[in-house]
Structure 1
Amino acid sequence: MSKRKHRRKTNKILDRKAGLKPGSVTVPTQSYPPRFFLMSFNEEYLDELEFKSYEELLRQVKAKPEARHWIDIRGYGDQNLLEQLQQDFGLHALQMEDVINDYQRPKVEEFDKNRLFIISRMLRWSPEFKSLDDVQLSLFTGPNYVLSLQSDYGDCLDPLRERIRVGKGIIRHRPTMYMAYAILDVVLDYYFPVMADIGEYIEDLEQQVIRTPSRDNLSLILDLKSELVRLRRITWPERDKMTEILRMDDQVIPESMKAYFRDAYDHSVQLIDLVESHKELASSLVELHMSTVSNRMNEIMKVLTIISSIFIPLSFIVGLYGMNFAHENPDTGKVHPFSMPELYQPYSYPILLALMLVLILLQLYFFYRKGWFRSF
């Protein structure tokens, strides 16, 4: 998604919220039709299905109460679905409003007997537009399920799905809260490739600025700074979210689970450090651009100064002998004592040219000894 499209999307969200009562759940314009995915598993088996309707998915969940379920709904383009989800899973209208607004800051809320409502943001770096594309991921935890909601069809959670399929690790042996952690952990892990791509882009911009400082490069640097500001607004709440999870009661997050969330907290701190370092590098790029432009201007001024210095004495000589004061009075034939006798010498013109050439060579030698030609 380009930055311009992202700004239009954000403005539409803000316009839609203005004047509505709290808890208003309205399908956003141009929303994708919903798709329904379900992964039901325990230590012994795994069922992975895509359903054509929400009713079929719900029947499958109720048919296997002993299993753990990852209910994955992608797309918000059905008003009836939103109302049905709110009713069937006991969700608050304000929570559904946060889900549908689709540009909430990362956060966690405890509700309804130790259930959690979690918002994260999945990041992608667009090499084409040189901008961030982020999609909101909303999670609701239950006794035997995790319900995930997102507006887009694509996400970064395929590695986790593959781990569940092949049965690697302990995810199929742990309660659903561990699955919620695993989802959050994968989302955070995908921030690091984004940071690496941004770091490479900053290095490329630095080389471009050194080679050809231009307004286009300055515009790219300023766009990058705005993207890093947006990234900072995402990563800092991620750390706050993990901090709040770690402070929750052991009945909500068991002590055995907090070790995993501490690891996620460490990742969020590392991300903040990377964002701050990238912001400093982006700021230094502006200074580098200004310094490079100033250096190039100094080089231009040096060339013009050399040219002017060469022609100033030549202009003086030419101007002096261009006055053409008369050598003698044409009426009386009397020679003036303070005239220019050189003008009437037989070799005055080539002598003057030779003198001007010597002056040019002397000046060039002087500039060379001063080191003015070394940067050319």
Structure 2
Amino acid sequence: MRILPKSKSKKSKQPTKSILDRSVGQKPGSLTISAEALAPRLFLMSFNEQMHEAREFTDYEALLQEFKQTPEARHWIDVRGYGSVALLEQIMKDFHIHPLQMEDVINDYQRPKLEEDHNRLFIVSRMVQFTPDHKIDDDQLSIFTGPNYVITFQSDYEDCLEPLRDRIKAGKGAIRKKSAIYLAYAIMDVVLDHYFPAMAQLGEYAEELEDCLFLKPSKQLLSQILDLKREVVKIRRIVWPERDKISEILRMDEQLIPQDLKIYFKDIYDHAVQLMDLVDNYKETTSSLTDLYLSNVSNRMNEVMKVLTIISTIFIPLSFIVGLYGMNFSRENPKGGINPLNMPELYQPYGYVTLLGVMTVIVSGMVYYFYRKGWLTNQ
């Protein structure tokens, strides 16, 4: 298996971007819009058991008028894009949103959290997906609840909530019969459900990296493993407060969260716990991949060292013999006599061939000994 390439995709959002856009020392509750913020798009969905209407508005006043004309219905106001401070300030005024909460909406790298203000809830969730370049891309979804409405804010035009809109339109389930708090639950449930495909894709990618490790460990592969480890840490920082947020909802007074709705929040709490288990498993997996890489590199180095050691060991006696016969001792002494102990075999007619034969026997014997010991195999 080849090393997995990093395919091109849209640039993932950096966690520090919205933080860098903020002016140091500015007044609390100030709305600072990024130059890259999208122009707002306004959507209103009104529904109850008998009716369902959904449309996009280009004028906020028309949306507000439509909202006020059907007080008996539940309403989902969806604002996508933060490009207009005047619009955001008007929404704050009409729906009594605190400036600090709207500031958290715009500075959209908030951890998942829950705030309660005058029997209204402010909920922050994060929508995640696993991108083709093997990154966790997450977008903030801010939710405000009221007596008969839910307002959502997000920085992008695309989201993961289309299945929920289809369910409301089709009238499936109890969503058109229950309160606005149930709609907020349904939004959170869909957001949390999309974590599981992302986690599954992350797990498949980890398995592919593991397969690559056994074939050809490399520095590029190690870099991909470390990148994956950072993504696991990133999603862990998202899932952990998500679980705490839902736990806090379950502890709320029944005036805010009726008892008959808490069973639904218990269900998504279980989902959050399952996600935490998955994240912890993948965290251990990525750590083991790093250890496996180091182990494979060490094993390959050991194999190289074993081959070099065997070669060196074979040539040690050969080098000794060659060095021994390379000594220049004179056969004749100064008086003209013969020194019989000074390598007489040098003057034998088959001395050279005999020496080569001896060296061949030595090499063959050593190779056979190494083979019997299993040093020439991977066993």
Q: Is the 8 A contact 1:33 1:75 kept in 2?
A: yes
Aligned partner letter, 1:371: G
1:366 equivalent in structure 2: 369
Q: Is the 8 A contact 1:99 1:149 kept in 2?
A: yes
Aligned partner letter, 2:22: R
1:69 equivalent in structure 2: 75
Q: Is the 8 A contact 2:112 2:126 kept in 1?
A: yes
Instruction: Give the superposition deviation at 1:38.
Output: 1.4
Residues of 2 paired with 1:280 and 1:182: CA distance? 32
- What SS does the corresponding residue of 2:144 show, helix, strand or coil? strand
Q: Is the 8 A contact 1:108 1:241 kept in 2?
A: yes
- What SS does the corresponding residue of 1:172 show, helix, strand or coil? coil
- What SS does the corresponding residue of 1:6 show, helix, strand or coil? coil
Instruction: Give the superposition deviation at 1:5.
Output: 5.2
Aligned partner letter, 2:114: V
Residues of 1 paired with 2:279 and 2:224: CA distance? 17
How many residue pairs get matched? 372
2:4 equivalent in structure 1: none
Verify: 1:248 aligned to 2:255, yes or no: no
Verify: 1:103 aligned to 2:109, yes or no: yes
2:243 equivalent in structure 1: 239
2:13 equivalent in structure 1: 6
Q: Paired residue for 2:25, among 5, 15, 19?
A: 19
Q: Paired residue for 1:225, among 206, 224, 229?
A: 229
Q: Is the 8 A contact 1:206 1:285 kept in 2?
A: yes
Provide structure 1 residue ranges, at least 5 long, that are not aligned to the other structure. none
Residues of 1 paired with 2:327 and 2:126: CA distance? 81
- What SS does the corresponding residue of 1:183 show, helix, strand or coil? helix
- What SS does the corresponding residue of 2:121 show, helix, strand or coil? strand
After TM superposition, the structure 1 = structure 2 runs for residues 132-171 of structure 1, keeping only pairs within 5 Å, are 132-171=136-175
Q: Is the 8 A contact 1:144 1:175 kept in 2?
A: yes
Residues of 2 paired with 1:18 and 1:191: CA distance? 34
Residues of 1 paired with 2:293 and 2:349: CA distance? 58
Q: Is the 8 A contact 2:44 2:54 kept in 1?
A: yes
TM-score (norm 1): 0.95
1:353 equivalent in structure 2: 356
- What SS does the corresponding residue of 1:16 show, helix, strand or coil? coil
Q: Is the 8 A contact 1:314 1:356 kept in 2?
A: yes
1:84 equivalent in structure 2: 90
2:122 equivalent in structure 1: 117
After TM superposition, the structure 1 = structure 2 runs for residues 260-271 of structure 1, keeping only pairs within 5 Å, are 260-271=264-275
Q: Paired residue for 2:307, among 297, 303, 306?
A: 303
Range 131-140 or range 40-49, more displaced: 40-49
Aligned partner letter, 2:375: W
1:291 equivalent in structure 2: 295
Residues of 1 paired with 2:138 and 2:17: CA distance? 15
Instruction: Give the superposition deviation at 1:51.
Output: 1.2
Deviations 1:107-160 (A, max 9, x none): 111112x111100000011122x1110000000011111100000111111111
Aligned partner letter, 1:75: G
Q: Is the 8 A contact 1:51 1:57 kept in 2?
A: yes
Provide structure 2 residue ranges, at least 5 long, that are not aligned to the other structure. 1-7
After TM superposition, the structure 1 = structure 2 runs for residues 161-200 of structure 1, keeping only pairs within 5 Å, are 161-200=165-204
Q: Is the 8 A contact 1:120 1:238 kept in 2?
A: yes
Aligned partner letter, 2:339: H
Instruction: Give the superposition deviation at 1:81.
Output: 0.9
TM-score (norm 2): 0.95
- What SS does the corresponding residue of 1:173 show, helix, strand or coil? coil
Q: Is the 8 A contact 2:9 2:132 kept in 1?
A: no
2:278 equivalent in structure 1: 274
Q: Is the 8 A contact 1:138 1:150 kept in 2?
A: yes
Instruction: Give the superposition deviation at 1:18.
Output: 2.6
Q: Is the 8 A contact 1:3 1:131 kept in 2?
A: no
Instruction: Give the superposition deviation at 1:3.
Output: 11
Q: Is the 8 A contact 1:68 1:145 kept in 2?
A: yes
- What SS does the corresponding residue of 2:253 show, helix, strand or coil? coil
Q: Is the 8 A contact 1:121 1:136 kept in 2?
A: yes
